[in-house]
């Protein structure tokens, strides 16, 4: 097969990072065309740096060649954030995967961005410590990607999302300078640029090291599965538990569609005839766990729970969680493609919005499964479809837009944890005013005056590329504004 001639950009990158750290043959770029969203677009070049200096060199070279720069972790994001929609340079951080330090006395760790979330959790277990953010993708996603999207997870309900657990960041800015934001203490002096960078989806810079806050493992944990005949009962139970002043560490709901797919594959212990199950966890001192569990059980019974099972061993707990954490993968076996949405509604409106979501999906002719962080009101309707079917992708995206509108109209939001990416940038003006968006745009341009870092993400102004999902993305290389 004829080999591609290295472009001047490739040549300069090879000189700075070494030949094996630079990919540019079309077949080598294929795995980097997509993340877990529907968007697809090939970068021109991929680099796999090993050090902050190499990331800085790549950013400088991209600036000299006037090409877009897109940071990427494992590519598990659902919003298209790691897709190089305008081509250019994709900086893949997975080789920067060292846990540089665990400081148990001061309850912090310093990690490189390519560290897999679960690898950090495993490394901490012998210290009796935890890094609280635990996305369901924790076996594969990176801490850098978690920072990029401000990831949540089942335990966000009690502990908050990634932003609450990041103390400091080392960042390569557009142009290649390296800055340190935040500190090793909770209360860093100065303007909180650390907070600004968490959730900025790679539009302000590339994170090359992260100082994270650690928490102590709790003395006792009780994991419970409440079984309901309907989604309404389960949703009402979520509000009832919190109304009784207990905030469990986690409250995850799986509906019937999901249970029927997951249980035969995982043997988690979810009854196949349940309308919905709530997977809940309370943690703390032994006495408090006993007391809180009683309140949770009573609250669930009061809303019609027909059974409540308590995990008696670590293996039983593991099995209950395995069902939840494998749900998306299991659903992936039942249809050629999934479109997983991420919206938020006030907890009290869960039953009504879930009915509307299922009704809309039926109108569009799609099956829709639901498994989500119910305690946060963070919905993940998962629409099953076949992209080969004429018009199916367009219809599924249209349905996604309508579901997001339902969430906003119910007083919620267009994302709980997956970010905006390309997927939802056109919905941003449903929740932000022109002045709000202008303020975000000014901040972005202050760090990146040409908008070269992760163009066409988050902000809806979109002058540099096509609007929405249906028009082909127009490439705009060379100097200019990409936001």
Ligand X SMILES: Cc1cc2nc3c(=O)[nH]c(=O)nc-3n(C[C@H](O)[C@H](O)[C@H](O)COP(=O)(O)OP(=O)(O)OC[C@H]3O[C@@H](n4cnc5c(N)ncnc54)[C@H](O)[C@@H]3O)c2cc1C
Residues that bind ligand X (CB under 6 A): 35-36, 70-78, 81-82, 93, 113, 135-137, 141-142, 144-146, 148-149, 151-153, 201-202, 206-207, 328, 417-418, 454
How many CB atoms neighbour CB 446 within 10 A? 9
For ligand X, the closer CB: 36 or 236: 36
Q: Nearer Cβ to ligand X, position 275 or 416?
A: 416
Shortest Å distance, C-beta 353 to ligand X: 19
Lookup: tokens for 133:
């953010």
What is the closest distance, in whole angstroms, from the C-beta atom of residue 426 to ligand X in the complex? 17
What are the C-alpha distances in Å from 55 to residues 33, 71, 116, 207, 329? 20, 10, 19, 9, 32
Contact 131, 165 (CB under 8 A): yes
Rank residues 16 and 207 by Cβ distance to ligand X and give the closer one: 207
Q: What is the DSSP string of 116-169?
A: BHHHHHHHHHTTTEE-----TTTTT-BHHHHHHHT---TTHHHH--GGGGEEEE
What residues form DSSP beta bridges with 310?
224
- Which is nearer to ligand X, 70 or 282 (by Cβ)? 70
Which two structure tokens, joined as six digits, stand for 444?
Answer: 């972005």
Measured from the CB atom, the residue of 78 and 364 that comes closer to ligand X is 78
Angle (CA) 419 364 328, round 5°: 45
Q: How far is the CB of 445 from ligand X (least distance, A)?
A: 18
Exposed, middle or buried by CB within 10 Å (0-12, 13-18, 19+), for 273? exposed
Contact 482, 455 (CB under 8 A): yes
Q: Which is nearer to ligand X, 347 or 425 (CB)?
A: 425
> Which residue, 95 or 107, is less far from ligand X as judged by CB?
95
Q: In the 3-class helix/strand/coil scheme, how is 403-465 assigned residue by residue? A: HHHHHHHCCCECCCCCCCCCCCHHHHHHHCCHHHHHHHHHHHHHHCCCCCECCCCCCCCCCCC
Nearest-angstrom CA–CA distance, 418 and 76: 10
- Residue closer to ligand X (CB basis): 75 or 297: 75
Nearest CA among 140, 179, 133, 127 for reference residue 158: 133
Buried b (16+ CB within 10 A) or exposed e, 285-307: eeeebeebbebbbebbeebbbee
Sign of the Cα torsion 34, 162, 133, 166 reads: positive
By beta-carbon proximity to ligand X, the closer residue of 34 and 127 is 34
Minimum Å distance from CB 112 to ligand X? Answer: 9
Place of tokens 């409440």: 226
**Least Å from the CB of residue 144 to ligand X:** 3
Measured in degrees and rounded to the nearest 5, phi and psi for residue 236 equal -65, -35
The CA-based angle 264-267-268, given to 5 degrees, is 125
Q: How far is the CB of 212 from ligand X (least distance, A)?
A: 14
Which of 143, 300 has the CB closer to ligand X? 143
Quote the least distance from Cβ 49 to ligand X, whole Å.
Answer: 10
Please, which residue, 149 or 393, has the CB nearer to ligand X? 149
User: CB of 202: closest distance to ligand X in angstroms?
Assistant: 3
Closest distance of CB 139 from ligand X, Å: 9
Contact (CB, 8 A) for 235 and 127: no
The HSE-up count of residue 211 (CA atoms within 13 Å, CB side) is 20
CB of 74 to ligand X, least distance (A): 4
Q: Which of 39, 55, 164 is nearest to 421 (CA)?
A: 39
Min dist CB 454 to ligand X, Å, is 5
- Report the residue number, 10 or 141, with the smaller CB distance to ligand X: 141
Whole-number minimum distance, CB 250 to ligand X, in Å? 11
268: nearest Cα among 309, 316, 224: 316
Residue 171 has a CB neighbour count (10 Å cut-off) of 25
* For helices 314-325 and 256-266, angle between their N-to-C axes, nearest 10 degrees: 120
């Amino acid at each position: 097969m004829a080999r591609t001639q290295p472009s001047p950009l490739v040549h300069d990158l090879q000189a700075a990072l070494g030949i094996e750290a630079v990919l540019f043959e079309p077949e080598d770029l294929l795995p980097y065309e997509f993340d877990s969203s529907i968007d697809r677009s090939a970068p021109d070049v991929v680099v796999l740096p090993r050090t902050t200096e190499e990331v800085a060199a790549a950013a400088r070279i991209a600036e000299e060649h006037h090409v877009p720069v897109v940071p990427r972790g494992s590519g598990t994001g659902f919003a298209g954030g790691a897709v190089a929609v305008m081509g250019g340079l994709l900086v893949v951080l997975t080789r920067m995967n060292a846990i540089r330090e665990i400081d148990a006395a001061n309850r912090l760790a310093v990690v490189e961005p390519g560290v897999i979330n679960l690898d950090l959790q495993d490394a901490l277990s012998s210290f009796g410590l935890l890094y609280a953010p635990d996305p369901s993708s924790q076996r594969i996603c990176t801490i850098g990607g978690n920072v990029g999207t401000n990831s949540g997870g089942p335990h966000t309900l009690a502990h908050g999302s990634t932003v609450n657990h990041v103390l400091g960041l080392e960042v390569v800015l557009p142009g290649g300078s390296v800055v340190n934001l935040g500190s090793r203490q909770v209360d860093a002096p100065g303007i909180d640029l650390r907070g600004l960078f968490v959730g900025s989806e790679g539009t302000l810079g590339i994170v090359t090291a992260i100082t994270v806050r650690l928490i102590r493992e709790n003395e006792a944990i009780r994991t419970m599965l409440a079984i309901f005949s309907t989604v309404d009962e389960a949703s009402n139970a979520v509000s009832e538990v919190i109304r009784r002043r207990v905030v469990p560490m986690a409250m995850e709901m799986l509906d019937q569609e999901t249970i029927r797919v997951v249980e035969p594959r995982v043997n988690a212990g979810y009854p196949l005839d349940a309308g919905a199950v709530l997977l809940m966890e309370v943690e703390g001192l032994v006495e408090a766990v006993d007391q809180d569990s009683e309140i949770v059980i009573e609250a669930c019974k009061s809303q019609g729970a027909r059974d409540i099972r308590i995990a008696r061993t670590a293996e039983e707990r593991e099995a209950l969680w395995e069902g939840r954490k494998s749900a998306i993968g299991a659903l992936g076996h039942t249809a050629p493609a999934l479109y997983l949405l991420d919206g938020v509604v006030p907890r009290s409106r869960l039953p009504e919005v879930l009915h509307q979501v299922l009704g809309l999906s039926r109108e569009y002719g799609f099956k829709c499964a639901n498994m989500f962080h119910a305690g946060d009101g963070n919905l993940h309707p998962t629409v099953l479809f076949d992209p080969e079917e004429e018009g199916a992708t367009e219809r599924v995206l249209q349905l996604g837009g309508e579901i997001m509108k339902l969430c906003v109209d119910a007083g919620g939001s267009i994302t709980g944890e997956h970010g905006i990416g390309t997927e939802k940038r056109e919905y941003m003006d449903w929740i932000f005013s022109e002045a709000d968006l202008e303020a975000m745009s000014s901040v972005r341009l202050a760090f990146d005056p040409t908008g070269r870092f992760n163009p066409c993400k988050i902000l809806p102004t979109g002058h540099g590329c096509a609007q929405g999902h249906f028009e082909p993305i127009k490439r705009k290389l060379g100097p200019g504004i990409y936001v």
